[in-house]
Structure 1
Amino acid sequence: MALGLGIDAGGTATRWRVADENGQCVAQGTSDPLTGHLFSPAAEERARQIILDMAQAVMRIGKPLGIIAGITGLTRDTPAEATMRAIFADVFDIPQDRIFVAEDMWIAYLSYFALGEGILVYSGTGSIGYYLSEDKNVIRIGGRGNLIDDGGSGFWIAREALKAVLRKEEESPGQGWSMTLGKSLEEALGGTDWNLVRSYVYGGDRGKIGSLARAVGEATALGDETALHILSEAGEELARLANALAKRVGPRPVALAGGSSRLHPIVAEAFRKGLLVPVEFITTDVDAALTAARLAATLNKA
């Protein structure tokens, strides 16, 4: 039976799916975040270890015929792409011509649209506006990382929430952590002591910080006005990405995807209101890893 392995590697986790030749998912799992930022031998070794761990689980089902992987931070036609493909080939003992690796947005885009058909705005740990033309040229808006922007992303949402709570605490001691948003963050952080908060924020990676966005969503569901305002602003930030792309490629259907865009309906509502041109708006969830797995099952089948 032909099996395909599809991988959707984001800043918080790496999701993988195995599909058979009929497109049915026969296995799935998650592993540590896999990044295309292979800027050092240590980074390459970490990527290899993550792939080795994944392979141990996948090979219990069977050896995949092909692999398609969308990996955050990976740009096609770069040394990192060649290195990543070589690691997959070595670990899974598969010819490199049966392995396709690209940035995660490449796979996500094709999960929603045909080439050149629409505009994808994605909000996970980071955020990006993405367009893949009919001749496979990419136009990116945003996606420059949390140190520069990533407006409307999980990291951005978490940062804005922490900032709001801590500023309230500075102005009125005891009132920041006592509001609903503060309590949600306290539970996620494991406490409110500054040394603990500082260690969580500065001792982890962007994915760990971005995971705090879930606490903001929970506080919004409980009616916290500060959390509601932050998620509404997140929607506006994400709409800016769509508007910038529409200005360059023309009006097209827009898909809003990613876990951070699903934290609360207010994100999508603010996003829709922020679109400058009325277009078809898609909010349905698509499993990018499964899409990749189905395609991988047919890679060079002959």
Structure 2
Amino acid sequence: MILCLDLGASSSKWALFVQGEMTASGSSAPLSGHLYTPQARQRMADGLAEIRAAVATRPSAVVVGLAGLQTDFVPLIVEMLSGIFQLPQTALHVTDDLHLAHAAHFSGDGPEGGGTLVYAGTGSMAYHRTAAGEVIRAGGHGFLVDDAGGAFWQGRQGLKAVLRQADRGDGGGLLASRLYEVIGSRHWPDIRAYVYGGVYGEGRAALARLAPAVYAAAVGGDADAQAIQRRAGEELARLARAVLDRSGGHELALCGGSFNPLVRAAFYTHFGEHDVTFAPTVSPLLGGLALAPA
């Protein structure tokens, strides 16, 4: 029995596999690999304990893919897992969430390794792993620097467009109404509290939660929202092209909740019919089957 955990800044998911078949799954509170403070480490311990309580039986191995993983903290996380799940450390594997998702989509058996994974969740990155384990990546620089095309970026672009409309005295159209509905107000003090009211990092999640509203406005015909979806696809295609050029590969897989149909369509327009091949999108949790300790 292999338990796989996909822990991220927006949500955490888990699945239990018995002889390669998923028999149970669930979700829990977001968790991050940024364990610099005692409070963050306690949140990680509490989150893992919550998942353990939700799993009916004790697994024989646990694989964790963690967003923002810092390698210095791997021994600490392994120690937590060993104590919480009552397993020897040899039955545990901790890696970053991109490695987990890549393993779910590509076997890595070829001479160049697997293909290139383009991930668009809260943030964005293109990720290739060679047969020798070398990682070639583009993006993934965090929301303070870039992460263009991801949910945070989409939400921020949408809110910026709406606030600029308000600056001009424009009451706004469909995009504004969709965003204000999520925020719960159209008044700046309430918007400011929504974005800046939490501790560091919560503003990122708040803006990422606006991305589905931007998509809904685009589907409804809002020109600003449609432009944001096109730009998101362009930015993600840029990441893909950068890694394909460096790796010499030609196979892509798209993964992450920010790859809505409009973003996918904009992404596809940047690749010719015979330029690349696309692997089917699957759950990153399946990567646990490939990465589980023997």
Structure 1 and Structure 2 fold alike (TM over 0.5):
yes
1:1-302 correspondence to structure 2 within 5 Å:
3-21=1-19, 23-58=20-55, 61-75=56-70, 78-115=71-108, 116-174=113-171, 176=172, 179-204=173-198, 205=202, 206-262=204-260, 265-275=261-271, 278-282=275-279, 284-292=280-288, 294-295=289-290, 299-300=293-294
- How much does 1:103 deviate? 0.4
Cα distance in 1 for partners of 2:144, 2:134 equals 26
Q: TM-score, normalised by structure 1?
A: 0.90
Is the 1:117–1:252 contact (alpha carbons within 8 Å) kept by the matching residues of 2? Answer: no
Cα distance in 2 for partners of 1:49, 1:149 equals 31
Cα distance in 1 for partners of 2:191, 2:270 equals 34
Cα distance in 2 for partners of 1:139, 1:35 equals 22
User: What 5-or-longer segments of structure 1 have no aligned partner?
Assistant: none
C-alpha RMSD over aligned residues: 1.6
Cα distance in 2 for partners of 1:140, 1:82 equals 24
Is the 1:242–1:275 contact (alpha carbons within 8 Å) kept by the matching residues of 2? Answer: no
Secondary structure, counterpart of 1:261 in structure 2: coil
- How much does 1:214 deviate? 0.7
Cα distance in 2 for partners of 1:257, 1:79 equals 27
Per-residue displacement from partner, 1:169-213 (whole Å, max 9, x unpaired)?
111342x2xx11111111111111111111111124122321110
Q: TM-score, normalised by structure 2?
A: 0.92
- How much does 1:101 deviate? 0.7
Cα distance in 2 for partners of 1:208, 1:168 equals 21
- How much does 1:291 deviate? 3.8
Cα distance in 2 for partners of 1:252, 1:225 equals 33
Q: Calculate percent identity across the aligned residue pairs.
A: 38
Higher RCO (CA 8 Å, separation ≥ 6 residues): 1
Moved more, 206-215 or 95-104: 206-215
